[in-house]
Structure 1
Amino acid sequence: MRLTAFRLSLLALPLYCSYANADWYEATGQAVLRSGDSAAARAAATEDAVRKALLYSGASIRTVQQVTDGLLTQESMFLQTQGEVHNVQIVSETEENGYINVTIRADIYPDQNQCANLQLKKELLVSPFFIENREQAIVGQLYELDEASTTVFIQKLEESSGSSLIKLLPQSIRQQELSYADRGALQRNYGGRYLLKASLGDVSLGERVGTNWSFWSDQDRERFYQLQLELSDIQEQKVLFSQKYQTSAVWGFNSTTVISPKTQRFWQTDYGKSIERVLNAAAQDVEEALRCETILADITLVQQHKVLLNLGSRQGLKLGDELTILFRRQHKDSFGQLQDQLTVSELKVKITELNHKNAWAESINMELLANVQVGDAATLINDKEQQ
């Protein structure tokens, strides 16, 4: 199910401006034109074009709304901004087959110190969303709203994210905290270090709004949508990001109308559009929280002066990449729970063989890796560390 289509063309052009280490990026966003509302479609297409350009360049996406709003209110369609983004310009706008296409060009110079190893993608496990109070879904029979929200959220994250490889878990994880054994099982069975959990805390109907003069129809009522989201590092047992999102819109149906959240009809309602914007914002926030996390490769085999890593080209590793070995040891915390402790070593290895899922890395000095054990880890050395 695809609710909004985006077509992206990104081009890093040669720099012809006064800002050091900047590049021009061109991006085209495409949004559905619904009910003739060209202003809303133009805003959506512009917003996503800006977001795509920022994500592609490595800049912060927190400036998306500011840049978008500025562009849409500038008569010259040209905006001077501060920080990482300069000289943002709407190049063209076209309407075709029920879609609006907006192309923007931005002069971007991201802070490269912000993220050390952006080239590597993180394995992100997504727990299916669930409705906390299912009786709230009775009106409209919205029992599949959690499943549909999960699908749309993943779609939005895939469109915006350059940092993660997404894997949907078969069942929702509802417990507040996971035990050491549960966290280990998730990593072994699904290969992900990062876990996203979400629940729909409120999908209830509120007070009646407006005036409905049709005696055979129910009065319009406000309907809420509350999303609680948590992103955590299950290996280090820490929360990276936690946020509650809330919105509401008019529910313009009578009490007996059944409308499936898995249909286009639902997502074209005011309520569906409001939910879509929340999920889009949540996906951007998750990308922002995850993108600068340091990715670790686990060592699965040791052979004299080389080690086998559980990351490969799929995650972005390349031949010649250099990594630092980290020793992993277990200890008990103050509550008696087992925890992992990582210690940075002086050992450096270089990728010499590579496939989609794994990589062989040899000691740079061809020294024996006698102290390295299966279960230890390695992390990419960025360019500044190598200099």
Structure 2
Amino acid sequence: MRKLAGAAMLLLAGQAQAEWYETTGQAAIRNGDQAAARAQATEDAVKRALLFAGVSVRSVQQVTDGLLTQDSMQLKSHGEVQQVHLVSERASNGTFEVTIRADIVPGEAACPNVAYKKKLLIAPFKLKVPEQAVIGGLFELGKVSSELFNDKLTELSQSSWTQTLPAPIDAEKLSYHERQAISRQYGARYLLSATLNDVSLGETQGTNWQFWSDADRERFYHLQLSVFDLAEAKLVMQQKYQTSAIWRVRKTTALDPQYHRFWQTSYGQAARRVLDAAVLDVEEAIRCEPVVAELLQVRDNQVLLNLGSAHGVEIGDTFTLVHRRELNDNFGRTQPLLAVTDMTVRVTQLSHEAAWAQSVDARLLANVQVGDLAKAAQKVVQDEWVEQESTGQE
């Protein structure tokens, strides 16, 4: 197997026991500080191992702090990480690379349907105050931030697959029919949107006696992010992230975020750390969300679902049908009314984003209509030898 940054290899699978994952993390070396780069690379490697194992990443800092002082450690943390071994480390071409081997036990309260992936729409991040982007020419910072976020989530996520939207959307302001139209157009239930609330400059840092350059100033990167359930009109998560870093660029110099030079600055690195943290939070938030398909067609004892192989659906998977009706509440808003039926269908044909499913007892699907839903039955994944890879971001 090729060794890649972000490659994870399942080395040993026991009978509901711990499993060994080998992962490689990377971090850029800034200002010659290899210790800081080593810490970030180690944390990245442990996060990858936990994500590939499908467990929580909340104990990462505790794990990595111990790993930084010894080559092997024992740790009991919520029944998840039993041991972490440092396999190798090296610095090359301005990057520090750490490979670890982690002994991980999946938590007892596993999410139902964790084997399925949800489709997540990602809207371009927007600048709350575009005038703040004038100094430095950061007008594309929101758009590029969303692209980096999407790349990182695509690389790491075991719970979702994404599609980007052409323009920002405020999901909470959408009407019922607008939410339904977006969901049907893109075949997705979840929408991620974000705003950069503050990218302004702060106070001058220190004294600069060089007339040809400007004084260093603090610059903020405040991100507010939310994941919205279009079907149920509810927030799955909402989180604010705030950081800052020294801005050493002259006022008259443009530093376009579309180019790598921007992300090599202290400010760009701080922004990237925020995006990395947000990726992990989103992965945690949607991991246990329900897997529900919409019926696109109904034909005698068969239905066409808007879930397919891209979501992890396989031939033989079963779904319970749910009637969906609409009613108007006292405020004149349209609300869905759901009623679970006793009808079950089994997948018989499969494509990338759709699947035909047939009634398990071959009876006609009475009163089932286009727009009704199908709730996935719990899918069990058997222990087996597995090898997984994902290309790391440079």
Q: TM-score, normalised by structure 1?
A: 0.92
Distance in 2, Cα, partners of 1:265 & 1:64: 29
- Cα deviation 1:143-187 (Å, max 9, x = unaligned): 111122111111221122121121111111147421112111211
Distance in 1, Cα, partners of 2:120 & 2:34: 36
Structure 1 residues 294 and 174 mapped into 2: Cα distance closer, same or farther (>3 Å)? closer
Q: How many residues align?
A: 377
Alpha-carbon contact 2:115-2:379 (below 8 Å) kept: no
Structure 1 residues 176 and 98 mapped into 2: Cα distance closer, same or farther (>3 Å)? same
Structure 1 residues 244 and 223 mapped into 2: Cα distance closer, same or farther (>3 Å)? same
Q: CA deviation at 1:6?
A: 6.3
Could you tell me which of 137, 140, 165 is aligned with 1:141?
Answer: 137
Structure 1 counterpart of 2:12, one-letter code: P
Counterpart position of 1:9: 7
Structure 1 residues 204 and 6 mapped into 2: Cα distance closer, same or farther (>3 Å)? farther
Per mean C-alpha deviation after superposition, the further-off stretch among 260-269 and 106-115 is: 106-115
Alpha-carbon contact 1:67-1:81 (below 8 Å) kept: no
Counterpart position of 1:42: 38
Secondary structure of the corresponding residue to residue 26 of structure 1 = strand
Counterpart check, 1:198 vs 2:194: yes
Q: CA deviation at 1:340?
A: 1.4
Per mean C-alpha deviation after superposition, the further-off stretch among 30-39 and 97-106 is: 30-39
Q: CA deviation at 1:308?
A: 1.4
Counterpart check, 1:107 vs 2:103: yes
Structure 1 counterpart of 2:337, one-letter code: Q
Per mean C-alpha deviation after superposition, the further-off stretch among 335-344 and 282-291 is: 335-344
Structure 2 counterpart of 1:188, one-letter code: R
Structure 2 counterpart of 1:7, one-letter code: A
Counterpart position of 2:389: none
Q: CA deviation at 1:54?
A: 0.9
Alpha-carbon contact 1:51-1:160 (below 8 Å) kept: no
**Which protein, 1 or 2, shows the higher relative CO under an 8 Å CA cutoff with sep ≥ 6?**
2
The runs of at least 4 aligned residues of structure 1 exceeding 4 Å deviation read: none
Secondary structure of the corresponding residue to residue 207 of structure 2 = coil
Alpha-carbon contact 1:124-1:167 (below 8 Å) kept: yes
- Sequence identity (%): 51
Counterpart check, 1:122 vs 2:122: no
Distance in 1, Cα, partners of 2:12 & 2:217: 54
Structure 2 counterpart of 1:177, one-letter code: K
Q: CA deviation at 1:339?
A: 1.3
Q: TM-score, normalised by structure 2?
A: 0.90
Counterpart position of 1:294: 290
Q: CA deviation at 1:13?
A: 2.6
Q: Return 5+ residue gaps in structure 1 as ranges.
A: none
Structure 1 counterpart of 2:221, one-letter code: Y
Could you tell me which of 214, 231, 238 is aligned with 1:218?
Answer: 214
Alpha-carbon contact 2:71-2:86 (below 8 Å) kept: no
Equivalence map 1:1-387=2 (5 Å):
7-15=5-13, 21-72=17-68, 74-83=69-78, 84-111=80-107, 113-174=109-170, 176-383=172-379
Structure 1 counterpart of 2:227, one-letter code: L
Q: Return 5+ residue gaps in structure 2 as ranges.
A: 381-394
Distance in 1, Cα, partners of 2:197 & 2:250: 23
Distance in 2, Cα, partners of 1:273 & 1:304: 57
Structure 1 residues 383 and 175 mapped into 2: Cα distance closer, same or farther (>3 Å)? closer
Secondary structure of the corresponding residue to residue 81 of structure 1 = strand
Distance in 2, Cα, partners of 1:354 & 1:86: 39
